[in-house]
Amino acid sequence: MQKSSDHILTSHAGSLPRPEALIAAYRAHDAGTGTDELRATLGAAVEEVVRRQRDIGIDVPGDGEFGKAMAQSVNYGSWWRYSWRRLSGIEPGQQNLYEMTPRRSRPGEVVLTSFGDRRDRTLFAEAYGDPDSGITTGPRPPTPVCVAPLGYAGHDLIRADIANFTAALATAGVAEGFMTAVGPGSCSRIANTFYKTEEEFLFACAEAMREEYQAILDAGLVLQLDDPALAENWDMINPAPTAEEYRKFTALRIEALNHAIRGLSQDRIRLHLCWGSWHGPHVTDVPLADIVEIVLAANCGGYSFEAGNVRHEHEWRVWREVKLPDDKVLLPGVVSHATNVVEHPELVADRIQRFADIVGRERVIAATDCGLGGRIHPQIAWAKLEALAEGAALATRRLWR
């Protein structure tokens, strides 16, 4: 993974707005027609999105997660749900995650509730129930159920994703690109009736998804593990656990992640965590300070996290108190998916400099809080990436005087 040796590098969290032609091709494909059209359209769309990132000034681009769309979430992409098409041993369920019967924790036993029973949703039930409130949670397809030994069945799909992306990088003359894949902790949030324990199922997810991780790294790409569950699970536990209980709960998910990437090129793996990308109040988010040491136990070369979101921007101070290992880099979000306001480059530069002053300019890569695709209008998303690049250039002039 590159470091900011002579300027502040730029990247982002993964999802980018899908072009209309790609959305139409996916819908035709999901309706049972247009397989060849989708293949051609997807390849062209990935080539164009890489070129556009390069032209804006994004040093480490992604494929926009264009190969991860599903019928129910083509606009949002599917950072997690895409894996449902790539796992064997699961079958379609009847309920979505918001409709499932809530589960309750008790002393000594921390369990996840349903998505619809989040504490944030309870506190702001009126706002969540108002379609004019501006709160969006994305599509809600039925959740699959694991009914047999879990395996990886996405070999053709990941090969196609890699082929499209590596060809696009070569055409654009870009040296390094990243590709996302769901982490074990987030992957395991589907229903399970086969494995006897939650831990068995979690590690089965780690083993299955390992094949995708290895394929991405074998292709010479940077792997970004998307595991928002590490922070987001906190809001899905009722009643709220103690910080120590949650750290223990999360440590098992980090153990599974490390199991999944054992023996792989950890210097080319970065971990993305966030507090969920939906537009909502987020007053029940777990503080970064409560989980940062657990997250740093992940054997990755970089850590991507929200730092522009107004619920978490203040947490840059955490890095004053926490020792970042010398061989690691930070990818703080310096523009946010959570607002339509386009950040000023001066603000972006200020955010970058805060981190550079703490961990060193070489160990900061400017990024986005979360994926921009589907959360804000495409025109605004691209304007935010431009502001990101402009702010990084300004920060570079300050830091390399």
**CA 355 – CA 185 distance, rounded (Å):** 27
CB atoms within 10 A of CB 171: 14
- In tens, the pLDDT along 268-323 reads 999 999 998 889 999 999 999 999 999 999 999 999 999 999 999 999 999 999 99
108-122, 217-231, 337-351: least confidently modelled range: 108-122
Closest CA relative to residue 163, chosen from 93, 71, 63 = 63
Percentage with pLDDT > 90 across the chain: 78
Q: What is the pLDDT of residue 76?
A: 45
CB atoms within 10 A of CB 360: 16
Query: In this model, does residue 182 exceed pLDDT 80?
Result: yes
Contacts of residue 219, defined as CB under 8 A and 6 or more positions apart, other chains included, come to 162, 166
pLDDT band at 136 (very low <50, low <70, confident <90, very high): confident
In the chain, % helix, strand, coil (3-state, to 5) comes to: 45, 15, 40
- In tens, the pLDDT along 20-34 reads 999 999 888 888 887
pLDDT band at 116 (very low <50, low <70, confident <90, very high): confident
Query: In this model, does residue 334 exceed pLDDT 70?
Result: yes
pLDDT band at 108 (very low <50, low <70, confident <90, very high): confident
Q: Which amino acid is at 104?
A: R
Q: At what angle do helices 20-30 and 35-56 cross, to 10 degrees?
A: 150
Backbone torsions φ then ψ of 109, nearest 5 degrees: -140, 100
89-103, 176-190, 316-330, 380-394: least confidently modelled range: 89-103
Strand ranges of the sheet holding 145-152, from the earlier edge strand across to the other edge: 87-91, 145-152, 191-192
Residue 141 class from Cβ within 10 Å (0-12 exposed, 13-18 middle, 19+ buried)? Answer: middle
**CA 113 – CA 67 distance, rounded (Å):** 30
What's this model's pTM, rounded to 2 decimal places? Answer: 0.95
CB atoms within 10 A of CB 390: 19
Q: What is the pLDDT of residue 70?
A: 53
